[in-house]
Chain A
Amino acid sequence: MNKLQTAAEAIASIKSGMTIGIGGWGPRRKPMALVRELMRSDVTDLTVVAYGGADVGMLCASGKVKKVIFAFVSLDFMPLEPGFRVARQSGAIEVLEIDEGMMLQGLRAASWRIPFIPTNVGLGTDVVARNPELKVIDSPYDDKEWVAMPALNMDVALIHATRCDVRGVCEIASPDVYMDDLFARAAKHTIVSCDEVVPTEHFADPAVARSVFWERCHTQSVVHIPGGAHPSSSDPLYGFDVKHFKAYGEAVGAGEFDAYVDAHVRGKTEQDYQAAVGGLEAIKALPLPAY
């Protein structure tokens, strides 16, 4: 089975009103080329589930988003994500704000096809008090109450992997898979962009096979976009682009996000985008962050 598609072909499966999950974490291994393709589309009213970074911020700033399900939206070195801030402070989006670990539980419940997972996380906080869609239930086994974290069922998941074969076997060579495997399992349809397409024999090496975290039946579409995580990182191939994130932040801060979109996204191909940020070689030369 050959699942290779262009970004445009893959993104065409996303319709207005859908719930989409986006893998990665903050400024790390985000499928940003797919996000840019989504920004070019006429899709609106999305519900976005993510450990959010500029993916969430840019989609919010582009008017694509109805609701965000999040625990944070941050670029880490820039703690406050500018596009998300503007959207929140203008009241433009609905939110379901949950704990980072509750998101894991919601993804897990969806991937296991169960309606909720009980947890004590969120008790006593505004996560429960201000979000009536989160229910608190009694346990059949003790006298305590528990949060019933609902399954985060999603129509589509977008993920960026290091390497894939055309059948959708995906290698995450980074030190962390984050929750990408759960996003893939929780969604009905998963689109994976990757830096490299490799022959299936690549995975015969047991060490490589150990870097595959979900089965190919959970990947429906493979998009080959070297550098496709930029400006987020794709460890070990490249780090995140601090300069580019800052320029994006300044554009949003100055009320000029439209100019950013005109310069980088609208009417541009991914090749145009990469040329504007210095080319693929410059992306691959971005240093990995050290803490």
Chain B
Amino acid sequence: MSIGRSGISLRFDWIGLLFACLLTLFIALPLVVVGTWAFTEVWRYPSVIPQQFGLRFWGQTLARPDVWEALLLSLRLTTTVTILSAVICLPAAYAFARMRFPGRNILFLSFLASHAFPKFGLLVAIAGIFLQLGLISTFWGVVLIQLVGTLMLMIWIPVAAFQNVDRRMEEAARDAGATPLRVFWSITLPQAAPTISAALLLTFVGTFYETEGAWLIGAPEIRTMPVLMISFINNQIVVQYGAVLSVMLWVPSFIALMFARRVVGTGAFARGFGA
């Protein structure tokens, strides 16, 4: 029996090694390439490594006014969406997690069911309504469209956070004479806070990089960073501009996202999509 087990585990190691090698090639290679381009001044075919490394294009990219305009707009937009979605969704998440009210299950499932439609088709349908309301190409039009994208995430993850709060501590505080608001502020919120901040982080970064709604609703007036990236890719002025922009914008958000990894890595996140 033990021979059989070790035989299996030995074979699984080889499979693991195979997966590790293939995934490294498939996942990491494109990212290494874009990282290399950002620090390259000259790289001509067919040289495998760049002829000249340097930071010249960082200076040039950072000197472009359109980059700064897009960055400031993206930050303003993302902050607005994150704050609004927290204000709108967190009370709802608390209600879904803790209160009994008519239609609770069906309303909660309807948030999950919002994934059941092809996203860009839905965006076009919304754009049709925004066109009649004069919201196309406006800041608030883009805020609204991005708010829709964050609804599910900002409800589903905090619901799980509020459910995991230790009820006995809340009851103890209530027995000691604390008011419901005091219990929420001093007991419930601190315990749910790490997961809620992960949801806020995911919302912030997700909104920052949202491209489809921002372009369909925002163009041509509202040019966020991803929309600017698309124009860099299409016009191909200088290869390095796009590479520098990618590294500059992705590294900080990548570090931020790693803090939210605990939430993403668990089965609970996948279950939020109905798995």
* A and B physically associate: no
Contacts from B to A (Cβ < 8 Å): none
Contacts from A to B (Cβ < 8 Å): none
